[in-house]
Amino acid sequence: MEKIRYFDHAATTSVDEDVLKEMLPFFSIEYGNPSSIYSIGRHAKKAVEESRQKVARVINSIPREIYFTSCGSESDNLAIKGIAYANKCKGNHIITSKIEHPAVLNTCKSLESEGFNITYLDVDKNGFINLSDLENNITNKTILISIMFANNEIGTIQLIKDIGLIAKKHNVIFHTDAVQAVGNIQIDVKKMNIDLLSMSGHKFYGPKGIGALYVRKNIDFKKLQDGGHQEKDKRAGTENVAEIVGLGKAIEKAYDNLEYNNCKIRKLRDFYENEIEQRIPYIKFNGNRNNRLPGNSNISFEGINGEELLFKLDEKLICASAGSACSSGSSSPSHVLLAIGLKENFSKGSLRISFGKENTMDDTKYLIESLVQIIKSLRKNI
């Protein structure tokens, strides 16, 4: 098989070799149920708790504030619905933004149909919410602010600490979807005044189907799933031990190597962007070029159809992502690109490249040469 060049780390990542190695025994010899009292049960329980400690340590929380879930989407659901249902008698107003992941947006829409009142904040052309806009929208009915840490399409990193301060000042609970941030940037839930935080294993070289939710101690939330008393009675179901172990190892390894990996990834990304900027005319960079995820690049190519571009890249075994959803042949721009006000002529041909730790300079040069050639040939047809 020819080599695949993978530049879609915001979609998912491969499982790190060391992570897989730590997981394997829990599929076979260490198959006990953490609730059982005999030795292999205790081993499983110990592994789960060690993983919880690793997660807690990295974000500066404590183990009993960490709940394991099945994915980032479940963490978002549990956070937002859990807080909403637990605070019904206090109020019914939630503030979020227009550029959230569907796991947050659709959870809010679902709550809207149950009678909750949702404010979807606008963002500026770089993808930032406006802090005074946020503060002005808080009422005495506001129970939750949910703003993503870093955006999955354009990489913009919000001013999380300032958002946390505003929430604290008004005594409103603050949740952040940090699925793109965990593993890529330093997070301190105390310093940043974060009350709840969602993460997902497969975005930082852990396995798919495992997530975690941090909830500050003393904050009550309603469980969404009834059953056994696992996860401090907040998330029923026998623990997914192997994957929990995988998530713990993955987060530990990501933060042990954070500076090294980010430096390398940023260098590749910047090289790519500089080359594209010099060699391809009529392009636009989306998002904030300074305050964004180290591996993220989102560029619009005038006159290009994003879906078509992805097919051409796929022919060259390059994996990337477009900022549009294809509906009956005509691509329409994503809600994120619409929210940052991308003009019509640019909005259909956006390319998200997300670099990861296994990418090399050779891969990057191959990507650049392929892209230059493809854009040239696609533009010949118009």
Ligand X SMILES: *Cc1c(COP(=O)(O)O)cnc(C)c1O
CB of residue 190 to ligand X, shortest distance in Å: 22
Q: Is 329 left (phi over 0), alpha (psi -120 to 50) or beta?
A: left
Interface with ligand X, residue 199, by CB under 6 A: no
Using CB under 6 A, which of 16, 177, 231, 363 touches ligand X? 177
Count Cβ atoms within 10 A of the Cβ of residue 375 and give its class: 0-12 exposed, 13-18 middle, 19 or more buried: buried
CB of residue 68 to ligand X, shortest distance in Å: 12
Q: Closest Cα partner for 34 from 45, 43, 48?
A: 45
Q: Which is nearer to ligand X, 73 or 296 (CB)?
A: 73
Number of residues that bind ligand X (CB under 6 A): 13
CB of residue 118 to ligand X, shortest distance in Å: 17
Interface with ligand X, residue 180, by CB under 6 A: yes
Q: Has 326 been annotated as catalytic? A: yes
Q: Which is nearer to ligand X, 203 or 264 (CB)?
A: 203
Specify whether the CB–CB gap between 378 and 312 falls below 8 A: yes
Interface with ligand X, residue 176, by CB under 6 A: no
Which region, judged by CB under 6 A, interacts with ligand X, from 31-39, 172-180, 260-268, 351-359?
172-180
What is the Cα–Cα distance from 354 to 329, expressed in whole angstroms?
25
Interface with ligand X, residue 152, by CB under 6 A: yes
CB of residue 101 to ligand X, shortest distance in Å: 3
Q: Closest Cα partner for 124 from 288, 285, 273?
A: 288
Using CB under 6 A, which of 77, 200, 296, 297 touches ligand X? 200
Residue found by looking up tokens 């900022």 in the block: 323
What is the Cα–Cα distance from 200 to 180, expressed in whole angstroms?
8
Site map 203..242 versus ligand X, x via CB under 6 A: x-------x-------------------------------
CB of residue 177 to ligand X, shortest distance in Å: 5
Interface with ligand X, residue 148, by CB under 6 A: yes
What is the Cα–Cα distance from 17 to 183, expressed in whole angstroms?
16
The interface with ligand X within residues 66-125 (CB under 6 A) comprises 71-73, 101, 103
CB of residue 155 to ligand X, shortest distance in Å: 11
Q: Which is nearer to ligand X, 293 or 368 (CB)?
A: 293
Dihedral sign for Cα atoms in the order 95, 159, 99, 250: negative
Q: Which is nearer to ligand X, 304 or 351 (CB)?
A: 351
Q: Which is nearer to ligand X, 305 or 321 (CB)?
A: 321
What is the Cα–Cα distance from 256 to 78, expressed in whole angstroms?
29
Please identify which of the residues 71, 108, 319, 326 carries the catalytic annotation. Answer: 326
Interface with ligand X, residue 193, by CB under 6 A: no
CB of residue 361 to ligand X, shortest distance in Å: 26
Q: Closest Cα partner for 101 from 336, 288, 298?
A: 336
Q: Which is nearer to ligand X, 30 or 177 (CB)?
A: 177
Q: How many residues does the chain have?
A: 382
Q: Which is nearer to ligand X, 179 or 244 (CB)?
A: 179
Q: Pairing mode, if any, of strands 321-322 and 196-200?
A: unpaired
Using CB under 6 A, which of 47, 59, 83, 179 touches ligand X? 179
Using only C-alpha atoms, what is the Rg of the chain? 21
Phi, psi of 256 (to 5 degrees): -65, -30
Spatial strand order of the sheet with 196-200 comes to: 66-69, 211-215, 196-200, 173-177, 142-146, 93-97, 117-121
Annotated catalytic residues are 326
Residues in contact with ligand X by CB under 6 A are: 71-73, 101, 103, 148, 152, 177, 179-180, 200, 203, 211
